[in-house]
Amino acid sequence: MGLFHCPIGASYYDDDPCIDCGLCYAKTSAERVEASKKIRVYFRAHAVKTPAPKRIAVCGKGGVGKSTVTTLLAQVLREAGSDVLVLDTDESNPGLFRMFGFSRQPKALITVRRPLPGDPPANGEWLNAEAISVDNIPSEYMLRENGFRFLMVGKIEDPFQGCACSIAGVARDLMEKLVVEEGQIVIIDMEAGVESFGRGVERYVDTVIAVVEPSYESIALAEKIAFMAQGMGIARVWALLNKIPSQQIEARIARELLTKGVKTAGAVHFNATLSESGLDGKPVAAATATDEMKKVVETVFAAN
């Protein structure tokens, strides 16, 4: 298969996991579409629903507030007693670590596979293991403070640095092997759009939250995110409305999403305090938004 990454996990055509979907040898767009349909049917038929969310991917259009939602969600889950690991997979947004109160970024996971110029070869044995415990991740790659653990896959820092494919590959490999113990929850701040679905990063999560702002494009993308997530066999897919100016707009967006088959878990209304925190690059803190996120968490965790 060369560089082809089988979504089912087969190492080669007719390997044991192979379902003969035809994707690896498809030569036309029509053949790829038909192969994708077979994969979608397979994943939906073999979906495994965990008793409660443990791996949550926060997705959505650029600028909808994924990082703010990730931070609020992590705060609420930590206060509820969970051991929260936050994984930053957005190769563009540089400031998520600040929103959690950290003064620096951790060493990027991509350096395990692609060391920086002048760096000695990284010890990547831990990332190549068949199973990775949270506690076995080397300390230079993980920040720990305020009850959070924080990982960053990598950022595009310079021109001509190349595409983000290798960054997504590390995120996918980590999520495939990561062992999430009882009491632990992983929250993944995804890159904007749906490219990560094409790379299969969300394949190893059990819950997808699509953040939706009051815009036609955001609603349309949420529908696409739900379609892709369900096609991966992810049983829990929710929309979370953000930056909502009124109850009327909230109700209108929720109705529109429902017509597209997307359930809404709740809303975080426009909040000047959150906006100011974002402008200053400070940790997210707003009592009203926290209370709204608590209701979202209750909905998502109660629907089992």
Residues 16 and 139 occupy one common structural domain: no
Q: Are 229 and 55 in contact (CB under 8 A)?
A: no
pLDDT attached to residue 160 = 46
Cα 289 to the chain's mean position, in Å? 21
The 184-189 sheet, strands edge to edge: 143-145, 148-152, 83-88, 184-189, 55-60, 207-212, 236-244, 263-269
DSSP, collapsed to helix, strand or coil, labels residue 151 as strand
Residues 152 and 257 occupy one common structural domain: yes
Closest CA to 241 of 280, 197, 190, 293: 293
Residues 22 and 114 occupy one common structural domain: no
pLDDT attached to residue 37 = 76
Residues 168 and 123 occupy one common structural domain: yes
Closest CA to 91 of 202, 166, 5, 24: 166
Residues 41 and 117 occupy one common structural domain: no
Residues 34 and 75 occupy one common structural domain: no
Distance CA(148)–CA(142), nearest Å, equals 10
pLDDT attached to residue 5 = 64
- In this structure, how many other beta carbons lie within 10 angstroms of the beta carbon of residue 214? 18
Residues 84 and 170 occupy one common structural domain: yes
Distance CA(176)–CA(205), nearest Å, equals 9
Distance CA(289)–CA(72), nearest Å, equals 8
Distance CA(275)–CA(234), nearest Å, equals 32
**Structural domain for 186, as ranges:** 55-302
Residues 9 and 155 occupy one common structural domain: no
Residue 271 amino acid letter: N
Residues 99 and 129 occupy one common structural domain: yes
Could you tell me the pTM of the whole model? Answer: 0.83
pLDDT attached to residue 212 = 97
Residues 33 and 96 occupy one common structural domain: no
Distance CA(103)–CA(99), nearest Å, equals 10
Residues 202 and 114 occupy one common structural domain: yes
Instruction: Pull the structure tokens for residue 219.
Output: 């609603």
Distance CA(185)–CA(162), nearest Å, equals 32
| CATH code where residue 136 lies | 3.40.50.300
Residues 90 and 31 occupy one common structural domain: no
Q: What is the DSSP letter of 162?
A: -
Name the domain count of the chain. 2
Distance CA(262)–CA(259), nearest Å, equals 7
Q: Show pLDDT as tens, one digit a residue, over the chain (304 residues).
A: 344 567 666 766 767 778 778 787 788 888 887 877 777 676 666 665 667 899 999 999 988 999 999 999 999 999 999 999 999 998 777 778 888 888 888 988 888 876 555 566 566 788 888 899 998 899 999 999 888 999 998 765 555 455 556 777 888 888 889 999 999 999 999 988 877 877 778 888 999 999 999 999 999 999 999 988 888 888 899 999 999 999 999 999 999 999 999 999 999 998 887 777 767 666 777 778 899 999 999 999 987 6
